[in-house]
Amino acid sequence: MVRQLGRSRTRPTRPPATARAARTPASEVSERRARSAADGGPDGRRHGHRSRWSPATTIRSALSGRSVAGQVFVFQVVIVLLLVVVAVVALVVQSRSDSTMEARNRSLAVAETFANAPGTREALTSPDPTAILQPRAEAAREAAKVDFIVVMNTDGIRYTHPVPDRIGHRFVGTIQPALAGGTVVEHITGTIGPLVQAVVPVKAPDGRVVGLVSAGITTEHVGGAANRQLPMVLFTAAGALVMATAGTALVSRRLLRQTRGLGPREMTRMYEHHDAVLHAVREGVIIVDGDGALLLANDEARRLLGLPDDAEGRRVLDLGLPADTAELLASGRVATDEVRLVKDRLLAINQRPTHLRGGPHGSVATLRDSTELRALSGRAEVARERLDMLYAAGVGIGTSLDVTRTAEELADLAVPRFADFVTVDLFDAVLSGEQPEVGTQLRRTALAGVGKDPPLYPVGERIRFVPSSPQARSLRAGRATLEPRLREAPGWQAQDFELTSQALEYGIHSLITAPLRAGSLILGMVTFWRADNPEPFDAEDLALAEELVARAAVSIDNARRYTREHTMAVTLQRSLLPRTLPEQSALEIAYRYLPAQAGVGGDWFDVLPLSGARVALVVGDVVGHGLHAAATMGRLRTAVHNFSSLDLAPDELLGLLDELVARIDQDEAAEGGSAPITGATCLYAIYDPVVRRCAIARAGHPPPALVRPDGSVEFPDVSAGPPLGLGGLPFETAEVEVAEGTRLVLYTDGLVEDRERDIDVGLDLLRAALEQAGPSPEDTCRAVLDSRLAARPSDDIALLVARTQALGPDRVSAWDVPSDPAAVAEVRASVTRRLTEWGLQDLGFTTELILSELVTNAIRYGGVPIRVRVLRDRSLICEVFDSSNTAPHLRYAAMTDEGGRGLFLVAQLAERWGTRYLPGGKVIWAEQPLP
């Protein structure tokens, strides 16, 4: 359709009206072109005459102002002029603003620099400040390019000035804020013109103002960018005017060419001819604009689409057409023979946009009735649905690394889109993550269907298929098997005559069974059943089932492999964590360990009995999950076990552990490894039930919590220290006094920190949970985890709660021993009396021998003071203190040696013995089991 766009400027001589009536617009155009060619050439020129599309004609049309091009030209010129004026005004305003700001900043900077310059304060207190400051001020003024630098006293009397005659006169300006210690920046009009001056104080070391410095500069001495940019602005404006003129000329010329010289009558006749042809063709034609509104529809399009009489001008989406057809026509996209069902007709739609060759935005579509393509469309729809199902299988199966869940996703996807019932049977080895063995029994893992209680094996049933069943044949062949009519399949009925007869009565009539293959492994079977759908499965369904099961097999195998890896990691981690807690009397302990949702991690804890009835508590965390984190945790736990046997202070033990981690990282780096363990943290605490004190040190680990017997909760101030492996900083030990019945709570960061909240919020929640917990460690663990865990945690959680118990004075005895060998006998007698009071007379002889040897060694080789302590706990503990740091060593004495057998005797009589060091000496201890 051609719209009237304008009139041609020149017309050839027309024939009489009767002749014109007999001609069509097309013949007239042909005649015009023929006469033009005969007159002078293809461009319609006569020799000696100027073409009507000459540049001069175009320019005259543009300048006339009556054409669109002329109006556009005038409008563009006005806009460019306005932009030039606005740019010049903005440039001048900006230049003034910049000049004022630059003057302000420069004067303030010069004044502050001179006031704080070395010697300024001292010169103000000299006998003749002017002699010292005047040359300095003038030199600074010339270097800083300001108009003046004036130094004055607190009364405003000038010491310096560019004009020496004004020295000694009062400064003109505001100085009161500067006398109070502030700064003053003001705009004034002086004898040299508008200027900006700043006044700053000169302060003595005690903060007292001893003088003032003022610097100023006139605004005319800064700026000037506007004058430099003004020529460029004017030049740009001139260029814009030239481009506007040229653009208008091009627009006018293009308008003239698009009309092709046709007059209004010729364009009207051409439109009538096209309109007659448009409505006479037996093919639907519709034109839609860029906004989706219907501009034109011929008679055939109205008939095919069933459009109402007032359809033109309305949006296509509001005409009651099928959604897919309306969406296609309103979209304007390119379409080629796309088949759409409209009522009882299949329409082949071809659509092209109208703006590809400079036309208006919109689209033209042609419609052909293609009802004979109905069968083809049905098959295409089936193919599309199957492709959609395969796509859904790709994104919907395998969303979790759980074998059972993946099997359930497969069954849910295929019902009811492909089958009425779906069963998934897997080998037991697959469910546990192992490689399956073909020939063993299968376990029904998933069942989904459109009805309830189908006559099929339930989930969890162990199944062994008979050799004649389709499932067994499919397993042997390794490919899918089709049974279109189960009433005629004796092999399937032989599986279970009673159950299969019930299935036939239920309506199940066809099946496809396919093995779940992952490479060379067969993981199980998938069986598709039809009952409500009367059509049996066919060869195309068989191909689709094979493709669907092949995609699901990959996800099930991935889940199987993950299950195996997860089981291995869990087994390793459980073997490295303490299975039972050691027997001790100092602490009543309860613990919890919860692995993360993503898998096992590196959180660990331990309880280590030490000498002197003391107990060490350890909680650690290795960053990461998986086998590497679990193995690293085991290495660190073993190292802590070994270091604790040395009876080290907590800070010393963490120092050794830090060095060990650094060496491990160095070894990993030397071997090309990429998994450093510097993210490991640890907290080590030692509780002494005799003095009821707890020594704590931590390496980047969350702080412990103390729940006092009255129920109050506090987090002791224990220096955090860096994580293990960083080195460079020492660890610190904090001593905390704990009353009997206090609960010591140790945990890993998974309890108080996650991606959604900060650790401070987690500590507040932990405090609230501990305040509401019961008095026993078990109650505390239960209350903390119940309040913390609404779902499975994203990180491992290790929780250790220990309630302190005291070793009372009735179970502890101590004696000071003078450095005299004769005192050994008195010690033996005192110990014997104490053992008799405790009812341990049977241990008197061995205890006397042990203490005799230990005290004698302390007197002979140690230093004063010497002290003996005996503890009655789960064993009898004898301890000898002295101030020497030299530890005795067990050795074998020769037959001729007079000594050297004391420690050998102690080692034979005691169950355990050892040495631990204190800040003021050492302790040699020995333990004997109680009878």
List, for residues 367-386, the tens digit of each pLDDT value. Answer: 887 765 555 555 666 677 77
Tokens of 191: 């004898």
Predicted confidence at residue 80, as pLDDT, reads 65
Predicted confidence at residue 618, as pLDDT, reads 96
Bridge-based pairing state of the strands 510-518 and 481-483: antiparallel
Share of the chain above pLDDT 90, in %: 24
Predicted confidence at residue 401, as pLDDT, reads 83
Predicted confidence at residue 595, as pLDDT, reads 75
Distance CA 654, CA 652 (A): 5
Predicted confidence at residue 381, as pLDDT, reads 67
Distance CA 213, CA 197 (A): 10
Predicted confidence at residue 804, as pLDDT, reads 94
Residue 669 has pLDDT above 80, yes or no: no
**Average per-residue pLDDT for the chain:** 80
Predicted confidence at residue 751, as pLDDT, reads 87
Predicted confidence at residue 432, as pLDDT, reads 85
- What would the pLDDT profile of 186-225 be if each residue is shown by its tens digit? 888 777 778 888 899 988 888 888 899 998 888 766 655 5
The larger pLDDT score, comparing residue 862 to residue 248, is at 862
Predicted confidence at residue 43, as pLDDT, reads 41
Q: Which residues does 52 contact at the CB level (< 8 Å), separation at least 6?
A: 9, 10, 44, 256, 261
CB neighbour class for 86 (10 Å; exposed up to 12, middle 13-18, buried from 19): exposed
Closest to 203 (Cα-Cα) out of 122, 107, 108: 122
Residue 276 has pLDDT above 70, yes or no: yes
**118 cis-preceded (ω within 30 degrees of 0):** no
Tokens of 708: 């006092």
Burial 314-337 (b: 16+ CB within 10 A, else e): eebeebebeeebbebbbebeebee
Bridge-based pairing state of the strands 615-621 and 681-688: antiparallel
Range scoring the smallest mean pLDDT among 114-118, 438-442, 570-574, 857-861: 570-574
Tokens of 635: 């290495």
878 band by pLDDT with thresholds 50, 70 and 90? very high
The larger pLDDT score, comparing residue 86 to residue 478, is at 478
- What would the pLDDT profile of 226-252 be if each residue is shown by its tens digit? 556 667 766 776 776 677 667 656 765
448 band by pLDDT with thresholds 50, 70 and 90? very high
The larger pLDDT score, comparing residue 106 to residue 528, is at 528
424 band by pLDDT with thresholds 50, 70 and 90? very high
Residue 732 has pLDDT above 90, yes or no: yes
- DSSP one-letter string for 375-401: HHHHHHHHHHHHHHHHHHHHHHS-SSS
Distance CA 166, CA 192 (A): 14
User: Which stretch, 48-62, 231-245, 268-282, has highest mean pLDDT?
Assistant: 268-282
Distance CA 858, CA 851 (A): 10
Residue 520 has pLDDT above 60, yes or no: yes
* Residue 427, beta-bridge partner list: 442
| CB atoms near residue 578 (< 10 Å) | 15
Cα 99 to the chain's mean position, in Å?
A: 48
Do 248 and 70 meet the contact criterion of CB atoms below 8 Å apart?
yes
Distance CA 667, CA 145 (A): 65
Residue 462 φ then ψ, to 5°: -85, 130
Cα 421 to the chain's mean position, in Å?
A: 41
Predicted confidence at residue 16, as pLDDT, reads 38
- DSSP one-letter string for 498-516: HHHHHHHHHT--EEEEEEE
Residue 277 has pLDDT above 80, yes or no: no
Polymer length in residues for the chain: 931
Residue 64 φ then ψ, to 5°: -65, -30
Return the amino acid letter for 557: D
Rg of the chain taking only CA atoms, in angstroms: 50
Closest to 518 (Cα-Cα) out of 441, 453, 438: 438
The larger pLDDT score, comparing residue 900 to residue 29, is at 900
If phi > 0 it is left, if psi is from -120 to 50 it is alpha, else beta; for residue 728 that is left
Coil vs helix vs strand at 705: strand
Q: Which residues does 608 contact at the CB level (< 8 Å), separation at least 6?
A: 582, 615, 616, 617, 618, 640, 641, 644
User: Which stretch, 378-392, 605-619, 745-759, has highest mean pLDDT?
Assistant: 605-619
Distance CA 510, CA 482 (A): 8
Predicted confidence at residue 259, as pLDDT, reads 53
Residue 825 has pLDDT above 90, yes or no: no
- What would the pLDDT profile of 332-353 be if each residue is shown by its tens digit? 889 988 888 888 777 888 998 8
**What mean pLDDT do residues 422-447 have?**
88
Return the amino acid letter for 73: F
35 band by pLDDT with thresholds 50, 70 and 90? very low
Do 623 and 602 meet the contact criterion of CB atoms below 8 Å apart?
yes
Predicted confidence at residue 712, as pLDDT, reads 92
Torsion angle defined by CA atoms of residues 322, 328, 331 and 334, in that order, rounded to the nearest 10 degrees: -170
Q: Which residue has the tokens 């490689």?
A: 435
Distance CA 847, CA 930 (A): 12
Predicted confidence at residue 374, as pLDDT, reads 57
Range scoring the smallest mean pLDDT among 258-267, 560-569, 607-616: 258-267
Do 395 and 367 meet the contact criterion of CB atoms below 8 Å apart?
no
Share of the chain above pLDDT 70, in %: 80
Predicted confidence at residue 233, as pLDDT, reads 64
Q: Which residues does 259 contact at the CB level (< 8 Å), separation at least 6?
A: 5, 6, 7, 8
Residue 884 has pLDDT above 70, yes or no: yes
Range scoring the smallest mean pLDDT among 277-286, 548-557, 758-767, 886-895: 886-895
- What would the pLDDT profile of 174-184 be if each residue is shown by its tens digit? 888 888 888 88
Residue 8 has pLDDT above 50, yes or no: no
